[in-house]
Structure 1
Amino acid sequence: MNRDIVLSCAVTGAGDTVGKHPAIPVTPKQIAAAAVEAARAGATVVHCHVRDPLTGKGSREPALYRELVERIRASGVDMILNLTAGMGGDVEIGPGERPLPLGPGTDLVGGLERLLHVEELRPEICTLDCGTLNFGDGDFIYVATPGQLRDGARRIQQLGVKPELEVFDTGHLRFAKQLLSEGLLDAPPLFQLCLGIPWGAPADTTTMKAMVDSLPPGAQWAAFGIGRLQMPMVAQAALLGGHVRVGLEDNLYLAKGVYASNGALVEKARQLLDLMGARVLTPAEGRIHLGLPPRGEKGD
């Protein structure tokens, strides 16, 4: 069991959750406030996407990230900042027997263009989604090819940002280990096991343990489950020796019929971990644990 936990809060994501919850953060101001709320509740790391303020849809617009990061840094509240670099891989296949032309939901760019905001803002951590995935029951695919991932990993390494390796299935884990063997990731690597997303790896004990058993020696890792499995996967990850993630990106409810806030989810996870005999690391402690520079050395 891990008794010193890095707790991440994913505050909004890019999913179709606007309208399903009365207070999904949408604007940079709202997302920054959600990040501050999570940090004040005790989150070690805050993981952020941005959204189009007019539509609520996920965005990769650098100006939105710029405003978000400026607001977070101006708050004076300490947190390890983790920005997504996963936007720009969406492909909507045409329906039925007409897969082409691609649908209006397509937003597909190369691996380096997905990192423009990371290159400008230099967060402490950014994500790297480690493979292609059928996403949901429709005709959507998230695309991350080996070539794109090698390009992205190489650039992240050059920027001095720590990649969080998002693993949605066992093949993603296999390729992340390949990146490590090619010298495109610095040791120790940081993995995030993303469980329960259709149609990736399921959120259950057997799957999590199988993935943990396949991690390279010395790897750091966290895991999360979505929806009602969020808190059970918090407990399971801690028991297996990992770190944890909660937040509105992955789960909208504190209890059945009770809408959550990011702060409330962080507090609930901290209470659970405390009952298990673990403690959540502060951002300063988390930097030491993850091998990140002290606060201020990267401009945050």
Structure 2
Amino acid sequence: MATTPGTLITVAPTGAELSKGDFPQLPTTLEELVETAVACEAAGASMIHLHIRDAEHRPTLDHGHLKAAVDALREQTSLVVQLSTGGSVHDPLEQRLTVLDAEPDSCSLTCGTTNFGDDVFLNPYGFMSDLYVQAQEREVVPEFELFDLGHVAALARLIDAHGLPFGGKVHVDFVTGVPGGMPGTPAALVAGVSMLPAEVTSWSATGIGRTHLPIAAAALAAGGHLRVGMEDNVVFARGVPVQHNRELVERAARLAELMQRPAMSTGDARALLGVKDRRPAA
């Protein structure tokens, strides 16, 4: 796995855990998502990881809401559009599979069940396998989410069972710092990277909350890419809340520039990930 000279910056703007009432700056409406996406692309993001909310700002996997978001972002930006298949921890497995009906460029595929705070994020192997095969059939590129070191082994099992994903590339994202998952430390991240199967072509990392900056620095130093956003972190610095996802993308882009691995274009990101171009013809 060669080090990529540029840095793929993914923005995860919303998530499913935070409430709009507690964080009014959280983008939950379609208009807010489009504005966020446009601003974050200008700041250096090349992929957006989406959780969708309904009219009451609650997490939803409703097809109409998902499809409207995918279409709007495809029309207004050139970002790689990735839909979460995790939804919220309470969504049933069969409904999570229907996310692919919205025809995203990419989808998340979490490689195992994990404790998630006081809840359980359920990802049994049969569900993972079904999602992998359906993504292959629909020509959607999965991003393999790794919350723990055991998930690295599960990723290798999926590849052995089903071959490479559509596009031939294998991109993974280490999600660190979730209570119940791997800690958000450079040591834990390096341990995970050292275990990656040979088929992996690129990887990124995110640190939840206060682990955000140490993980970003460690990922860049180790040749990885970055995921930032209010899904993972709503505090910019001690006592300073994040007001817009753009702030987190801008800081990530500055870090990447300092490391002489500047934020990559959306075109380079598409090549890195092997995604199918579903954008409307100009």
Instruction: State the partner residue of 1:214.
Output: 195
Measure the CA separation in 1 of the matches of 2:230 and 2:21. 13
Measure the CA separation in 2 of the matches of 1:2 and 1:205. 20
Instruction: State the partner residue of 1:71.
Output: 72
CA drift of 1:182 comes to: 0.8
Instruction: State the partner residue of 2:50.
Output: 48
Which protein shows a greater Rg?
Answer: 1
Preserved contact between residue 9 and residue 46 of structure 2 (Cα < 8 Å): yes
Instruction: State the partner residue of 2:183.
Output: 202
**Of the candidates 149, 174, 198, which is equivalent to residue 153 of structure 2?**
174
Aligned to 1:280, the other structure's residue is in SS state: coil
Measure the CA separation in 1 of the matches of 2:232 and 2:29. 19
Percent same amino acid at aligned positions?
Answer: 32
Equivalent position amino acid for 1:238 in 2? L
Equivalent position amino acid for 2:69 in 1? L
- Give me the CA root mean square deviation: 1.9
CA drift of 1:80 comes to: 0.9
Instruction: State the partner residue of 1:12.
Output: 14
Equivalent position amino acid for 2:81 in 1? L
CA drift of 1:232 comes to: 2.1
Aligned to 2:162, the other structure's residue is in SS state: coil
1:146 aligns with 2:125: yes
Q: Deviations over 1:35-92 (max 9, x none)?
A: 22211211011111101221x23211111112212221232x211111111126x3xx
Measure the CA separation in 2 of the matches of 1:277 and 1:267. 15
TM-score (norm 1): 0.86
Measure the CA separation in 2 of the matches of 1:57 and 1:197. 21
Measure the CA separation in 1 of the matches of 2:271 and 2:164. 19
Aligned to 1:4, the other structure's residue is in SS state: coil
Instruction: State the partner residue of 1:98.
Output: none
CA drift of 1:295 comes to: 6.1
Measure the CA separation in 1 of the matches of 2:127 and 2:189. 26
Kindly tell me the number of residue pairs found equivalent between the two proteins: 276
1:124 aligns with 2:136: no
CA drift of 1:218 comes to: 4.2
Matches for 1:248-263 after TM superposition, within 5 Å: 248-260=230-242, 261-263=244-246
Measure the CA separation in 2 of the matches of 1:199 and 1:265. 25
Instruction: State the partner residue of 1:94.
Output: none
TM-score (norm 2): 0.91
Structure 2 gaps, min length 5: none
**Of the candidates 271, 275, 279, which is equivalent to residue 292 of structure 1?**
275
